[in-house]
Structure 1
C-alpha cells in the first residue's frame, strides 16, 4: 500500500529499483535537523527471488553537516527489509506474511534524553494478512497488519493498521488505496505503465504529498496474473 506493509508479494523473479520523495510528515518525528523536520528522498533496490520471499535495500537521505562543514542532504540511513509469506492466499483464506525493516540492530535510546538516534529510524516487525475479492471484474483488496516499532519515538505507528485497495475492471494497471496507519489516514493511487514503470502518488491525512516511481523487470520473464 503506502505506509502500511501487506501480505501481497511481487511476481517471482521481479526486481525493482526506485526513487521516492518523502514528505516530512511521512517520516519519524526524529527525522530532524536543528530541531526541525525536513522533506527528503529515498532510493531502493528490491527483488523477489521466490514467490514467498522479498528482500529490499533502502537508503533514506538525511540532512546534516558534511566533513567540510556544508549543511545539506548529505547523510544516509540504510536498512534492509525482509518479508516472508508462509501462507499463500486461497479462495477462503487470506495470505499471511511476516516481515521486518532494519532488523537486528539496537535502537539508540538517547531520544528520551532529548537527543536523536543516528540510525534505526524505521526498525519494526510486523505480521500482515491480505485478501482479494472480485466483484464484476473489479478487484478489492482488504489488508490488516499488526506492527511493532521498537523505538518509543515511533510509538504512534505501533499496533493495528489496515487498508483497502481497489483495481477497476476498465484499467487493470491502476489502483486506488486508502489506509489507516495507526495515527493517520492516507489516500493514494498508483499506475503501471508499459509493464515496467510504476508510478505512485499519495496524500498523508489528505494533504501531505509523497510519491515516486520505480522500474520493474522480471528476471525470469514471468508476468503478474490479472
Structure 2
C-alpha cells in the first residue's frame, strides 16, 4: 500500500476514535445497510461514512462464478438524512486471464428512504444502480421495507422484505478501451441469464441484535438461504461472517464514523 493511502486510513481511524458516538455499522456484501447479501431500509444518520471489505467465496462469485473467489471493497456516505451514495469495487482473487485484468468491476449505487419508520409502519427505501459501468456484477435495483421490533430491553429484531428487479440496463458489449461515451451501448437484459446473479426476485431476512453490539442474521437472497453473525467493536468497527446456502463461508469487515459530528472537545467551544 502506498504511503498516502496509509496516511488516509490512519487519519480516518483516528477521527473515529475522537468521535465516540455509536454508529450502526452492519452492512451487506456491497457496503449498504443490510444483512449478508440483502439490503435493508435502515436509515443512516446524516454524515455517516463507512468503508470496508467483503470476501465472496468461489461458488457464489458474481463475476467469476466457480472460477475465483472475489474481494469487494466499498465506501458508503449518508450525504443527506435519507439519501446514501455507495461505491464498490469487485476484484477476483487468484490468477485470471490477462484480458480480465484491470482496475476491477466498479459500481455506484444510490439509496433513498421514501418512508421513514413509524410505530405501525416500516421504513421503505429504493436502491438504484447507476447504469454507466460496463457489465456490472452487483447491480441493485430494488425496493425494500424494514421494521424494527423490540423483543426485550436489550434484544431487537429487524425484519426486512423486498423485491429486486431481474431486468437491468447493461453495457455488456462495450470494451474498456473503447469506452469514450458513457451514454451509449445500453441493452436491457435479464440478470437471471447469468451463471450467477444478484437480487432478482423476492428477498427477505431477519436480524436479531443484542444492544446493537452483536447479532444473528437469517436471509433469503432470492436464490439461497444464508445465515450469519456479526459483532461491533469499539462502537465503530464491525466484523461479520456467514454461511451461504449451507455451503461456503463469507466474511467481511467495515468501519463507520460521522463526518458531520464534531468531537466532544471541540463542541465545548461552540
Give the TM bin, normalised by the shorter chain: 0.7 to 0.9
Deviations 1:174-198 (A, max 9, x none): 1211000121101111111101111
Distance 2:151 2:198 in 1: 35
Q: Which sections of structure 1, spanning at least 5 residues, go unmatched?
A: 107-117
Q: 1:75 to 1:50 in 2, by over 3 A?
A: closer
2:84 aligns with 54
Counterpart among 143, 147, 156 of residue 131 in structure 1: 147
Distance 2:157 2:74 in 1: 28
Superposition RMSD in Å = 2.3
Q: 1:155 to 1:213 in 2, by over 3 A?
A: closer
More helix by share: 2
What TM-score, normalized by structure 1, do the two folds share?
0.80
1:44 and 2:74 correspond: yes
Aligned to 1:25, what secondary structure does the other structure show?
helix
Q: Which sections of structure 2, spanning at least 5 residues, go unmatched?
A: 1-34, 168-190, 263-270
Counterpart among 138, 143, 158 of residue 200 in structure 2: 158
What TM-score, normalized by structure 2, do the two folds share?
0.68
Contact kept, 8 Å, 1:124 with 1:149, in 2: the verdict is no
Distance 1:41 1:79 in 2: 14
Shift of 1:129: 0.3
Distance 2:243 2:222 in 1: 16
Counterpart among 143, 162, 173 of residue 145 in structure 1: 162
1:15 aligns with 49
Contact kept, 8 Å, 1:123 with 1:149, in 2: the verdict is no
Contact kept, 8 Å, 1:25 with 1:204, in 2: the verdict is no
More strand by share: 1
